[in-house]
Amino acid sequence: MMHKLLVFRRESQFTQKAANASELKKRQEVIYAFRRIHKAVRCTHDPLELLFIADFALSSTTKGVIVECGAFKGGSTSKLSILSRLLNKELHVFDSFEGLSEPSAAEKEDAGFTGVAQTWQGGQFAGSLAEVSNNVKKYGFIDKTVFHKGYFKETMPTETPGQIAFAFVDCDLVSPAQDCVRHIWPKLQPGGRLFFHDVIFRKFSEGITDFAFWQTHLKEPPPVLWGAGYGCGDMAPNVGFFEKY
C-alpha cells in the first residue's frame, strides 16, 4: 500500500515541473482525473504509475498516437484517454477483452528479485469492451479512443498505427508482450517510449529483451530495458521502458 504522504509528495513534484501557467493547469487536471479514475475503476497498476508515464508524455514532443495493450476494466485506458485529449493524440487500445491468453507451461509462473511471485491463468483480468468503453466515457475521454478487439497476434500485424509516440503494454505474459514489441517498436518514433508493466518479473524482463527474439524479428540487438527487475523508483515500482533514439 502506497503511503499517502509519498503520493502527495510525488504529485506535488509532478505539478512543480510545469513550465508555465497553462502547463500547470494541465498537470493539475491530470492529477485530479487520475485520482478519480483510480478510486472508481478496479486497476492492477499502482496509483502513481500512470502519472510517471504522464510526466514523460507531457514533456515529450514526439509525433504519433498513443497505444495501450492490456486494458482490464479500463482504469489505465481512462487515464491514457485524458492524456490523449490534452495532447490531441488518438489512443489505440488493443485487448482480447476476454482476459489473458492461455499461458504456455513456461509462462504460468513468474517471480522477481523483490520476493514477488505470481501465477497466471487464461481468462484472468477480463474486462469486456462494453465495461472498458463505459468507464472511458464516464471517467476519461472517448472521442479519440479507438478499440482493437482480439488477441494481439491477430490484431497487431494489420491494425498497429503507423506512427507511435508512446505505448503502455500491460499483459503479464511474455509471448503476448513479444507480439506487442514486434509490432510497436518499428513504429515508435524517435524520442518515443515503450512502457511495460511487470518488469519486476524475471521471465518477463528476460523475454522482452531476449537477444534471439530481437535478432529474428527486429533485426537489431535489444535496447536497454530501463527498470528491469526493480521498476522505476517509488512512483512506478512495476514499470520499465525501452526508449527509441
Min CB(152)–ligand SAM separation in Å: 4
Tell me how many degrees the CA angle 5-201-111 measures, rounded to the nearest 5: 105
Nearer to ligand SAM, 219 or 239 (CB): 239
Instruction: Please choose, out of 27-35, 40-48, 204-212, 222-230, the segment that lies near ligand SAM by the rule CB under 6 A.
Output: 40-48
| Alpha-carbon span 102 to 122, nearest angstrom | 4
Binding mask 63-102 for ligand SAM (x = CB under 6 A): -------xxx--xx------------------xx--xxx-
Q: Does 200 bind ligand SAM (CB under 6 A)?
A: no
Nearer to ligand SAM, 62 or 76 (CB): 76
Q: Is 59 exposed, middle or buried (0-12, 13-18, 19+ CB in 10 A)?
A: exposed
Residues 118-177 that bind ligand SAM (CB under 6 A): 125-127, 151-152, 170-173, 176
Q: Which secondary-structure segment (H or E) carries 227? A: none
SS3 (DSSP) at 204: helix
Min CB(217)–ligand SAM separation in Å: 16
Residues forming a β-bridge with 65: 164
| Alpha-carbon span 86 to 73, nearest angstrom | 22
- Pull the grid cell for residue 210: 531476449
Q: Under the rule (CB under 6 A), what is the footprint of ligand SAM?
A: 43-45, 70-72, 75-76, 95-96, 99-101, 125-127, 151-152, 170-173, 176
